[in-house]
Amino acid sequence: MKYPHSAWRRTMKELEVILKAVSKEINWIEAAYILGVSPRTMRRKKTAYQRYGIDGLFDKRRGCPSRRRAPYDVVEKVLLLYRKEYFDFNVKHFHEHLVSEHGIQYSYSWTKNLLQEAGCVKRMKGRGGHRIRRKRRPLFGQMLHLDGSDHEWLALCPGKRQVLLLVVDDATGKNLAGRLVDAETTKNCMRVMRNVVEKFGIPVELYTDRGSVYWHTAKSGKVDRDRLTQFGRAMEELGVEMIPAYSPQARGRGERWNGTWQGRLVAELRREGIDNTEDADRYIEERFIPEMSRLFAVEPAEPSSAFVSAQGADLDRIFAIRYERKVSNDNTIKVNNLVLQLKKSRFREHFVRCEVDVFEHLDGTYSVVWNKRIIGRYDNEGNALAPDASEETSCSMGLSHNGCLADEKKGEASASPASIAPASALGSLPSVALSSVRTKND
């Protein structure tokens, strides 16, 4: 029998692997893994080679019809029966009638494949690949989970739902922050993450869902890593790597924590007589989080910490909504239906047509930055605020590329304060070395 070139190439590969196993260079289990076959198939190939040599490795069935194929008249009868009499039966039900009433003894799998190939029934979605449980990160602060849970958290306010924003450490299961908010918005997520950064430091990774607060997601379901949201931009400036979850199962630990909180916090708040989010947040911070960490936290695989100190980073500026604007001819800037009037500045005669950054801070105030200099501060209604004492002096504050503040005197630059340079430094550090960075910075 003449074999095609592809069969020869496959056989030569099998022969090379078998000879390595014969010479004890590898064992037969490793040989099966290399060829991508089961150990049972590998034993058959070994026996065929011992008995027939290289000819035993060729597939003798190639080009030959299967001896188990169904006759044409049986295939025709099955398809006609389904289309005319059993068109509204599912495959399992139809197969039972084929066997009991029509005497067709072919298997259920054969019947299902025939109907699918003929287009009579749709193919079901596969179950997916085999999943394994992901191990915890070894270091405290190496990965954090941030998720929002929509629930009726205040039992004394029936019918009203709140969202719990919860931050959990992956290595220890320790609850780092929790807050009840009206919705999972950008500002609320920034507030809870700022609380974590101020209290513990900057983590290495942050695991979230693909909600619009965290990611821009294409129609295909893949997140756009080049187009950052406001929250993603803040994390990038801090040097935190964000990881999107593509299924609820991928966020298993976070989902289980939400269930645990729902089973405990609702009853605790009812028992304490708490009926508003302000008192609930205070109770969560002072009593509930410490108790949950005491009951459920575990020791990390390594005793060090991956958190890095945030000293030197301007958190007010990083955790703010940033807008790019161009100054109008009357030295005004429009943002969020507000008109911010720029005052006369010592930096230049006017700012007409200049490109500026407008920062909406978490407290509702605004600041306008031009060329790394603050040229105006405003309240939440757009009214100008008095300049800070530091701005009344000869110093002005500016933003560096990593979001940290840099001081420079009028007319000449001075040395900037110590900065962690998170965007560049953290991304290049191995995780096990991050704990030492915190020690140096602290």
How far from each other are the two terminal CA atoms of the chain, in whole angstroms?
77
Residue-level pLDDT at 269:
94
Q: Are residues 17 and 112 in the same domain?
A: no
311 dihedral zone (left: phi>0; alpha: psi -120 to 50; beta): beta
Residue-level pLDDT at 430:
37
Q: Indicate whether 441 belongs to any domain.
A: no
Residue-level pLDDT at 435:
37
Residue-level pLDDT at 87:
86
Mean pLDDT over 397-405 rounds to 38
- Distance (Å, whole) CA 201 – CA 233: 18
Distances (CA, A) of 257 to 186, 247, 291, 353, 364: 22, 16, 14, 50, 31
Asked if pLDDT for residue 130 goes beyond 70, the answer is: no
- Distance (Å, whole) CA 178 – CA 175: 8
Asked if pLDDT for residue 137 goes beyond 70, the answer is: yes
Helix-helix angle 230-238:186-199, to 10 degrees: 20
- Distance (Å, whole) CA 37 – CA 194: 52
Candidate from 127-131, 227-231, 249-253, 409-413 with smallest mean pLDDT: 409-413
- Distance (Å, whole) CA 70 – CA 67: 9
Q: Is 282 within 8 Å of 167 (Cβ atoms)?
A: no
Mean pLDDT (the chain, rounded): 82
- Determine the 3-state secondary structure of 184 from DSSP: coil
Of residues 440 and 202, more confidence is placed in 202
332 dihedral zone (left: phi>0; alpha: psi -120 to 50; beta): beta
Candidate from 59-68, 108-117, 241-250 with smallest mean pLDDT: 59-68
Residue-level pLDDT at 370:
94
pLDDT band at residue 280 using 50, 70 and 90 as cut-offs: very high
Is pTM beyond 0.85? Reply is no
Q: Are residues 292 and 148 in the same domain?
A: yes
Of residues 242 and 33, more confidence is placed in 242
Q: Are residues 148 and 292 in the same domain?
A: yes
Q: Are residues 394 and 269 in the same domain?
A: no
Q: Indicate whether 122 belongs to any domain.
A: no
Q: Are residues 245 and 326 in the same domain?
A: no
Q: Indicate whether 328 belongs to any domain.
A: yes
Domain count, the chain: 4
Q: Indicate whether 319 belongs to any domain.
A: yes
Q: Are residues 209 and 263 in the same domain?
A: yes
Q: Note the pLDDT tens digit of each residue in 178-229.
A: 999 999 999 999 999 999 999 999 999 999 999 999 999 888 788 999 999 9
Q: Indicate whether 260 belongs to any domain.
A: yes
Residue-level pLDDT at 407:
41
Residue-level pLDDT at 131:
67
Q: Are residues 177 and 32 in the same domain?
A: no
Q: Which domain holds residue 264?
A: 143-296
Structure tokens at 123: 């193919």
Q: Are residues 273 and 331 in the same domain?
A: no
Q: Are residues 369 and 238 in the same domain?
A: no
For residue 174, the domain's CATH number is: 3.30.420.10
Mean pLDDT over 162-191 rounds to 94
Q: Rounded to the nearest 10 degrees, how much is the dihedral formed by the CA atoms of 176, 180, 183, 188?
A: -50
Distances (CA, A) of 72 to 101, 157, 351: 20, 69, 84
Burial of 99 (0-12, 13-18, 19+ CB in 10 A): middle
Residue-level pLDDT at 362:
94
Q: Is 166 within 8 Å of 175 (Cβ atoms)?
A: yes
Asked if pLDDT for residue 134 goes beyond 90, the answer is: no
Q: Note the pLDDT tens digit of each residue in 340-365.
A: 999 988 888 899 999 999 999 999 99
Q: Are residues 111 and 162 in the same domain?
A: no
Candidate from 21-35, 141-155, 173-187 with smallest mean pLDDT: 21-35
Q: Indicate whether 356 belongs to any domain.
A: yes
Q: Indicate whether 357 belongs to any domain.
A: yes
Candidate from 95-109, 114-128, 150-164 with smallest mean pLDDT: 114-128
- Distance (Å, whole) CA 236 – CA 313: 13
- Distance (Å, whole) CA 309 – CA 419: 10
Q: Are residues 161 and 205 in the same domain?
A: yes
Residue-level pLDDT at 64:
60
Q: Is 365 within 8 Å of 385 (Cβ atoms)?
A: yes
Asked if pLDDT for residue 25 goes beyond 90, the answer is: no
Q: Are residues 240 and 292 in the same domain?
A: yes
Q: Indicate whether 433 belongs to any domain.
A: no
Asked if pLDDT for residue 45 goes beyond 70, the answer is: yes
